[in-house]
Amino acid sequence: MKRICVLCFVVAVFILSFLNHGFSQQTTVSRTNSMPPQLQQAVNKGLVSPQQAQAWMEALEKGQITIETIHEILKPLEVKGALGNLTREEIEQGKKLLDEKIKEASKEIQKEAPGPGQKTRFEERTKEPTKQVRKEAPRPDQRIRPGVKPSEEKKIVEKKEPAAAEEEYFKKTTPEEAPELEIFGQKLFGAAPSTFAPITSIPVSNDYIIGPGDEIKVLMWGRLDAFYTLEVDNEGVINFPKVGPLTVAGLTFGELKALIRAKAESITGVNVNVSMGKLRTIQVFVLGEVVSPGVYTVSSLATVTNALLASGGPTSLGSLRKVELKRHGKTVTVIDLYDFLLNGDTSGDMRLMPGDSIFIPQAGPMVSVSGNVKRPAIYEMKDARTLQNAIDLAGGLRPRAYNQRIQIERAFQNRVQIVLDISYEELQQKKPIPLMDGDLIRVFSIHPASINAVYLFGNVIRPGEYAYEPGLRVLNVIPDIQSLELDTYFDYALIKRYRFEDSRSELIPFDLGRLLFSRDLRQNIALKPKDEIYIFNKSMFQELDHAVIEGQVRRPGRYPIEDMRIKDLIFKAGNLTKDAYMDLGHLYRTDPKTKEVTMTSFNLGKVMEGDPLDNIPLKDNDLVVILSQWDYVDKYTVSINGRVNRPGDYPYATNMTVRDLILVGGNVMESAYMEKGELVRYDIVAGKKVETSLITFDVKLALANDPAQNLKLKPFDVVNIKEIPEWKEKRTVTITGEVLFPGAYQLRKEERLSSIIQRAGGFTERAYLRGAVFTRESIKKAQQDRLNELISQMEIEGAHYASAEAQAALSKEDVAAQSEFLAAQKALVAKLREARATGRVVISLLPASVMRDASLDMVLEDGDNLYVPKSPSTVNVLGAVYNPNALIYEESRPEVNYYLKKTGGPTENAEANKMYIVRADGTVVAKAETGWFNVGWSEEEKRWQFGSSFEDTRLYPGDTLLVPQKVVKPSFMKELKDITTILYQIAVGAGVVIAAF
């Protein structure tokens, strides 16, 4: 009785569920059927999802939108869905081309004017086509062939269905476009349970080994009716009533059945049936590269695959081809799961025994096969590591595969990436191509350009692909008006043709009305492969009223309006944003005659409620502005300056404190002075004046949230965090060259040159102190400014003498000389502009122990650089000498005259009186400084001496002797400074020597 009640209850629940499901379906169908036809058509075409359509219908039922709003939203979607990839600009361009053709043919049209009794073109177009015309017109499933009547043509053209979704992958030709590959076989374990439920529903074979924990069911009938469930105890024994204890552990199931039957035969007239009940469980180990390694309790009937499923299967690093089963410390078998996955071969899936271990090692070489193959995935290679084997594992090539190019991308020696391209035909003919671990194989698709078809888009009943063959024309694709949707625009249609020779598109317009109604064969254009035919709807060329909406809507812009109000326009623009100000909005309306603009305000909240007083009907060129609520909130700010990570202005918040502002500003920097900060407050007094007050606080205590120091802020407060006095994050000097420990050194306060030299270990034996180069950034800037000033001076003086007034006072010879000089000067100025000051400071370097007490032991600055060169062995003689060169320095002959003679002496054009020496340490000694009394500089005495000429001056290794070239001044240069003087100023004042000779 209880069973009958339960059964009745289940049946009742099933019936109620079925009725409820049917009612739901009926409700859904009724809702769908109640959709406006235009919306239902958009759903059928895939322009709108069913969920979107349902949401719009609910909004329509609630009065949130109108049916006109839905129609306006659908118009651009219909156009976009119908016209493929044709742009609005191309439509307009094609229409202009058609108008030009009509103008060119105007004379011919006038000649064809109707005579008496003839019908006009308008009458021809509006009359119903005769049966004769319809009979002659080719149907959509026909093509025109020379010498063949349309009625005799076979039906050979039909619309092609789109490619299956599974082939979308194979249209991709680059790895970036293709989906990410999965490891082959991983899906087998993707939905595996985390725990293993023992198997009890499968039959037990006769070779099953009986063990402790197994249940044996014995059914006896005949003279004795009985049913026994006997469990094998830990000793391997069952207690069989009427018979006694039997040792069964270790027997097979077949042997057990024979034993029990033999024992039962001792009871006369009894039949017996033996079966297995609940089976015992065993423990096995699943180890290695598995998702959940560990000990698993499984059924005694479980196999290796069952245990792997229980453990979640191999990880991404684990092998599916070398699964090891170990028993008593020895490997019993190695299983290749690819045999199971690809061939369904389970012969190697051995049954487990207690204590067995399943070990998953790391996977062997892996290759990826992507593109137009049947099973794109990542495969583990075993013995045959060849390209053909990898493609076979992937199921082979698909019909759309391009077999002339199979690409292998390979990482070579972990350094570079190489690419190999192979033809599939070559692959089958030549020797096997070996693969390497990590190879990526790509099989590309046949290029879409090879598709032999034309395409029909727009306001037609059957858009899509149509097969192409030579002789195909527009009438073969669009034979009559029955091929068109309602409201077709007959004055203009368009063919878009791709020219493969130059990768450009060509627009070919034609008059659809002339073609279909008048059978104007000039409009029946011959088609080519890949041509796209576009048929338009009248709505595309109607001048609609438009309104503009700006501000807090999701898609501001210009929208067509037709019996729309402000609320409809808001929904068309994607609805309001969360920041929209609901109390006020503005409508700007332009008078079409006077162009006068008037503004009308409305309550946005009432507009959204549908209040007719605020929800104003729209007119052409209206502008609706939706304001932001933040425009009506006072925008107070506070500022923080100084040593914080993000100084600047920040919005003020109620109860904001100094600590809050410091944290908003990125917290204090390491260089911040923590003892004292400043707060500047601006108070407005009686709305007439501003009073400024200064409040100090302890920065450290403020950050610790001390109420006395963590001051509350007011709008427009300014917090200033000062810098620790004399703080410098990194002050370094660099010493290189001939010192024991060259490098960059952190500079201490007021540290001097001798200290850095001593920290660098002092000078080496090869150090040439006289040629030391010391540079300073601040000096470099000053020198560069001076250099720029001198260059500007040269340009000004040159421009003066190039002026018309200066040239008017010159002779012909001077004009020619002036032109030559100005050209040379321009080249010189360009060369000078490329020169950069070095920032060199002339120093006399001494050993650190001696320099410490000398006046030359300067205080160093951040960025200073000292270079100590090796001892040179040459001096340089440059300029207006016969052989400018570097000469070996001779200690016994150090005077200027000796080296001057070795270069041949000054040339005829040399300015010998203006020779000068640039010492290795940067100092300059000029001959002009000796005057008329032969005063020369003595390095030994460190003073000027009488009776010693410039030619007797001693040179040192690394010194440079410069002999300027004589400048011939024509009359126009009488007031112009000597160029050598300017060069000398540049060399001395800017600290650089320019090879301008």
How crowded is the C-beta side of 433, counted as CA atoms within 13 Å?
Answer: 20
The tens digit of pLDDT for each residue in 407-431 reads 889 888 788 888 888 887 777 777 7
| Torsion angles phi and psi, residue 557, rounded to 5 | 160, -165
- Length of the chain counted residue by residue: 997
Nearest to 301 by CA among 210, 217, 194: 210
Q: How far is CA 563 from the centre of its chain?
A: 44
What is the per-residue burial (b if ≥16 Cβ within 10 Å, else e) of 227-247? Answer: ebebebeeebebebeeeeebe
Tell me the C-alpha distance between 530 and 472, whole Å.
12
Tell me the C-alpha distance between 265 and 267, whole Å.
5
pLDDT at 144: 33
pTM of this prediction?
0.39
Mean pLDDT over 473-498 rounds to 91
CB 453 within 8 A of CB 509: no
| DSSP 8-state symbol, 209 | B
Bridge partner list, 290: 314
pLDDT at 707: 92
Tell me the C-alpha distance between 454 and 143, whole Å.
13
970 burial class (0-12, 13-18, 19+ CB within 10 angstroms)?
Answer: middle
Domains and CATH numbers, the chain: 26-82 (no CATH), 187-193+281-360 (3.10.560.10), 215-276 (3.30.1950.10), 365-446 (3.10.560.10), 447-542 (3.10.560.10), 637-723 (3.10.560.10), 872-966 (3.10.560.10)
pLDDT at 811: 61
Which of 56-60, 766-770, 777-781 shows the lowest mean pLDDT across its residues? 56-60
Name 219's Cβ contacts closer than 8 Å, sequence gap at least 6: 226, 227, 272, 273, 275
**Span between the terminal Cα atoms of the chain, in Å:** 125
Is the pLDDT at 751 greater than 80, yes or no? yes
Is the pLDDT at 129 greater than 50, yes or no? no
Q: Look-up: residue for tokens 């034309």? A: 454
* Count of C-beta atoms within a 10 Å radius of residue 295: 10
Name 226's Cβ contacts closer than 8 Å, sequence gap at least 6: 218, 219, 220, 241, 242
Nearest to 515 by CA among 507, 525, 523: 523
* Count of C-beta atoms within a 10 Å radius of residue 715: 15
Is the pLDDT at 143 greater than 50, yes or no? no
Q: How many helices, marked H, and strands, marked E, lie in the chain?
A: 26, 42
Strand (E) or helix (H) holding 32 = helix 2-33
Bridge partner list, 925: 917
CB 561 within 8 A of CB 569: yes
pLDDT at 26: 38
Is the pLDDT at 725 greater than 60, yes or no? yes
Residue with more model confidence, 222 or 884: 884
Sheet with 916-918: strands ordered across: 885-888, 874-879, 960-963, 916-918, 924-926
The tens digit of pLDDT for each residue in 303-337 reads 888 888 888 889 989 998 999 999 988 999 999 98
Look up residue 195 and give its two tokens: 């725990």
Q: Look-up: residue for tokens 């024991």? A: 740
Is the pLDDT at 19 greater than 70, yes or no? no
Alpha helices in 62-179 (DSSP H): 67-82, 88-104, 106-111, 121-126, 131-136
Confidence grade of residue 21 (pLDDT, cut at 50, 70, 90): very low
Look up residue 389 and give its two tokens: 């084997």
783: left (phi over 0), alpha (psi -120 to 50) or beta: alpha
Which of 122-131, 457-466, 617-626, 716-725 shows the lowest mean pLDDT across its residues? 122-131
983 SS3 class: helix
Name 241's Cβ contacts closer than 8 Å, sequence gap at least 6: 226, 228
| Residue 693, amino acid | S
According to DSSP, the β-strands at 672-685 and 689-697 are antiparallel
766 burial class (0-12, 13-18, 19+ CB within 10 angstroms)?
Answer: exposed
Highest mean pLDDT among 124-138, 382-396, 640-654: 640-654
Max CA-CA distance within the chain? 157
Is the pLDDT at 794 greater than 80, yes or no? no
Residue with more model confidence, 745 or 966: 745
Look up residue 728 and give its two tokens: 């410098």
Mean pLDDT over 589-616 rounds to 91
According to DSSP, the β-strands at 294-299 and 366-371 are unpaired
The tens digit of pLDDT for each residue in 797-854 reads 766 666 544 555 556 666 666 677 677 677 777 777 777 788 888 887 877 667 766 6
Strand (E) or helix (H) holding 465 = strand 464-467
Confidence grade of residue 209 (pLDDT, cut at 50, 70, 90): confident
Confidence grade of residue 605 (pLDDT, cut at 50, 70, 90): very high
Return the CA Rg of the chain: 50
Nearest 5°: the CA angle 58, 60, 66 is 160
Nearest to 75 by CA among 538, 652, 627: 538
Four-CA torsion 657, 663, 666, 669, nearest 10 degrees = 90
CA distances from 544 to 486, 538, 560, 707 (A): 19, 12, 6, 67
Nearest 5°: the CA angle 239, 243, 244 is 40
Confidence grade of residue 717 (pLDDT, cut at 50, 70, 90): very high
Is the pLDDT at 284 greater than 60, yes or no? yes
Which of 1-5, 153-157, 390-394, 409-413 shows the lowest mean pLDDT across its residues? 153-157
Strand (E) or helix (H) holding 41 = helix 37-45
Is the pLDDT at 795 greater than 80, yes or no? no
Alpha helices in 329-397 (DSSP H): 337-343, 387-393
Residue with more model confidence, 107 or 532: 532
| DSSP 8-state symbol, 617 | B
Look up residue 167 and give its two tokens: 């082939």
Is the pLDDT at 151 greater than 80, yes or no? no
Mean pLDDT over 489-511 rounds to 87
Is the pLDDT at 123 greater than 50, yes or no? no
Percent of the chain topping pLDDT 70: 74
pLDDT at 653: 86
Look up residue 693 and give its two tokens: 């007050």
What is the per-residue burial (b if ≥16 Cβ within 10 Å, else e) of 171-181? Answer: ebbeeeebeee
How crowded is the C-beta side of 989, counted as CA atoms within 13 Å?
Answer: 15
DSSP per residue over 914-968, as a string? G-EEE-TTS-EEEGGGGGGGT-EEETTTTEEETT--GGGPBP-TT-EEEEPBPPP
Highest mean pLDDT among 377-381, 415-419, 963-967: 377-381
Nearest to 260 by CA among 217, 214, 207: 217
How crowded is the C-beta side of 830, counted as CA atoms within 13 Å?
Answer: 6
On average, the pLDDT of the chain sits at 78
Tell me the C-alpha distance between 190 and 180, whole Å.
16
Sheet with 226-231: strands ordered across: 226-231, 215-222, 270-276
* Count of C-beta atoms within a 10 Å radius of residue 925: 21
| DSSP 8-state symbol, 977 | P
Tell me the C-alpha distance between 714 and 716, whole Å.
6
